Amino acid sequence: MRSKGLAFAAVVLCFGSIGGASAQQAGSGVPARLQVTIDAQTTSPPISKYLYGQFIEHIRSTMYNSLWAEMLDDRKFYFPITAAKPGPPTKPGGVPFGGKLRQWHPVGGDDVVVMDKSQPFVGEQSPRISLDEMTPHGVEQGELALVKDKKYAGRIYLRGTPGSKVKVSLIWGAGPADRQTITIPALTGTYKKFPFTFTAKADTMDGVFEITGTGAGTFHVGTVSLMPADNVEGFRRDTTSLLRQIKMGFWRYGGNYTSGLIWYHIVGDIDRRPPDFDHAWGAMQTNDLGLDEFMELCKLINVDPYVSVNAGFGDSHSAAEEVEYMNGAATTYMGAKRAKNGHPQPYHVKFWNIGNEPWGTWQLGRTDEKYYMMKHNEFARAMREVDPSITLIASGLMLQNDNVPPGERARYVGNLAPLYGTESDWDAGFIKDCWGNFDIVAEHWYARGGHHWDIQKAKNLSADQPNDDAYVKWDQTLLEASRYPADTVRLKAEEWEGYQKRFPQLVENHIPLAIDEYAYFNFGGGGSPFAGENLKQALAYGMILNEMARYTDFLTMGAQTTGVSLIDFNKTASTLNGLGLVYKLYGDHFVGAIPVALSGNSPQPAPKFPVGSLDQPEKSSGSPTYPLDMYAALSADRRYLIVSVVNATESEQKVDLSVNGLHLAGPSTLWQLTGDKPEAVNHVGQAAQLAIKESSIGNAPATISIAPISVNIYQFPVSQTGH
């Protein structure tokens, strides 16, 4: 699947000896000296910026708190207001990515607040507060993070009995002077918006926002908002500035949340959008961060948007109207609504995904394969009728997955042929029944270190047991744990090549694969269940990115779960973590680069477990440079040879390089990501333990020495004289 190109002279530059076979290290099976050859005349299609994309979903801190600057939870009063503590989460196991919602509590006693369902401002209810002439009554929310001398801005919608006196306060301490209070102008029986600003006079993680009133009668709170005044179009300035430093290509807006989303509720006046209950994650969604806001986010962090439509509980008409809202001219029905909402110019969103994991039993609105193919076709036709230029991405599922019953899956390990074309084979369904109604096929994977899929155990599982129950503990070395997720990439590539052989029209029509959701989780040191952030995680992701780049002839898009896992953050500050540094390192140097062939004298070890298991490809991932993982490419302008090297061992490794088809000359540069130990991590408020260090290594050295536990990018200038 590789192509020839670049008619360079066949010049060989050696970094050390490349003679005969090397002596083997005693008992290790690894050569005493790694010898690597790069062939610059054998190239592959360039590395797309879309290979470094990210996935995002509305799950608590993946969007809110981390990106969206709103400081108040439940600002539209979806939940009742009581003095009681919150109960257990509605979804078993809780909602990942970020803790409980802060509650509103009554000020002046439980009986002063009633959730009034008559003429609510937004949603189904608004709090009505009974007033007293002398004692302030109202509501408050605590646990706010405030920074000394920082300004905060907000707005509140109120109506009430004429003569009532309402105040809003920001409180940073227990003393009477530890607050700023603003008196709201006179209220009427009609809701009115009142803006306000505060300046905190102390640092605290336990600030309080309070709304109280005195007088006769009642007042209603419609909705309220509080943000740092330095927010950028509603987004945190610090986190979006960090993310903009990384060349990510695109962000995908989707996930399980999408299958129950009413997209009409996430556009228009942000204060009038009704809150919804998200049954996918057992959580309330304020719907503040909607389509227009997502487009602003993409602009802020300099990525292209990718939108998934609701093909769960949703319908093709709604999906087509969503496309028209985003891409239609202001003269179209939905385009006019977008213009009315303050966005007259079409967004021209190119990438559209129909559904999200529709094959999953956990998915809202799931249907069987044959019915979903009908649904996909209906969606595709309706969406393309609105905008024929869009790129449609099918929600695929290859055979190396956990959707096939474990007993059946175990029987076909090493021989998947009988499974092709069955109801378990979603990708074959798309190719046979939806041809012409998709441009790209998507695949998702999640890998977890410390275990492997056991065939014998799988054979003994009952029909209603999940494939997850067939995993058994595996005490992995650092190198094995780092290699594990790259093997999953290799597994997906092998299977896609199988589809290409079975369905040659995929190659003839250049239908690519998009791994638009993936992560290696429960391995790093972060708070997210999907992606850690320490150096161990960085090593694994260096190997993932190397492996993905080996298949640029068909693997054109990737989206890591989730975009905010690239940063470590709290309520007031943020920093790039190990994962973010890896993506920055690769994005800075490999976007647009032209892969070249790389060979070596140390093949990766043979598979440790039976080939064809859920986590075991036919051939181990990586380059023939064991224990290192190496990858090489020419820069887009062909002025540099770029070589990445991941050393997931705790020993220094030395490499002798030979380059065919190029002459290298001039000062070379190394960018290196490493730390004192594999658990090294970057946390907000602590000294950074990880950083990308740039160093000059002069003219190409005779031998390169690879530091332990490191991810390295070498840049060697290419002589333009040809000698």
Q: Is the dihedral angle over the CA atoms 318, 338, 351, 258 positive or is it negative? A: negative
Name the segment(s) of the chain with CATH classification 2.60.40.1180. 3-44+622-717
Closest CA to 541 of 581, 589, 514, 579: 579
Residue pair 287/266 in contact by the 8 Å Cβ criterion = yes
Stretch (H or E) spanning 673: strand 668-674
Taking only the tens place, the pLDDT of each residue in 352-367 is 999 999 998 899 999 9
pLDDT at residue 23 in the model: 36
Q: How confident is the model at residue 469 (pLDDT cuts 50, 70, 90)?
A: confident
Name the segment(s) of the chain with CATH classification 2.60.120.260. 105-228
Taking only the tens place, the pLDDT of each residue in 279-330 is 999 899 999 999 999 999 999 999 999 999 999 999 999 999 999 999 999 9
Residue pair 274/348 in contact by the 8 Å Cβ criterion = no
Q: Which CATH class for the 3-44+622-717 domain?
A: mainly beta
pLDDT at residue 412 in the model: 63
* Res 88 pLDDT > 50: no
Query: Quick one: average pLDDT of 199-227?
Result: 97
Percent of the chain with pLDDT over 90: 76
Query: In the CATH hierarchy, which fold is given to the domain comprising 105-228?
Result: Jelly Rolls (2.60.120)
- Residues with Cβ within 8 Å of 509's Cβ and at least 6 positions away in sequence, in order, are none
- Output helix, strand, coil percentages for the chain, rounded to the nearest 5: 25, 30, 45
Peptide bond connecting 552 to the previous residue in cis, omega within 30 degrees of 0: no
More confident residue, 4 or 529: 529
Q: Look at strands 204-214 and 629-634 and give their pairing.
A: unpaired
Cα separation, 494 vs 499, in Å, equals: 9
Cα separation, 564 vs 60, in Å, equals: 11
Q: Look at strands 12-15 and 567-569 and give their pairing.
A: unpaired
Position of tokens 């054109």? 556
pLDDT at residue 523 in the model: 44
The mean-pLDDT minimum among 333-342, 556-565, 694-703 falls in 694-703
* Res 14 pLDDT > 70: no
pLDDT at residue 214 in the model: 97
Label residue 254 exposed, middle or buried (CB < 10 Å: 0-12, 13-18, 19+). buried
DSSP 642: E
Q: What is the mean pLDDT of the chain?
A: 89
Query: What are residue 324's phi and psi, to 5 degrees?
Result: -65, -35
Bridge partners of 672? 693, 712
Cα separation, 432 vs 440, in Å, equals: 14
Residue pair 553/44 in contact by the 8 Å Cβ criterion = yes
Residue pair 213/148 in contact by the 8 Å Cβ criterion = no
* Res 432 pLDDT > 80: yes
- CA–CA distances in Å: residue 632 to residues 15, 368, 719: 15, 43, 17
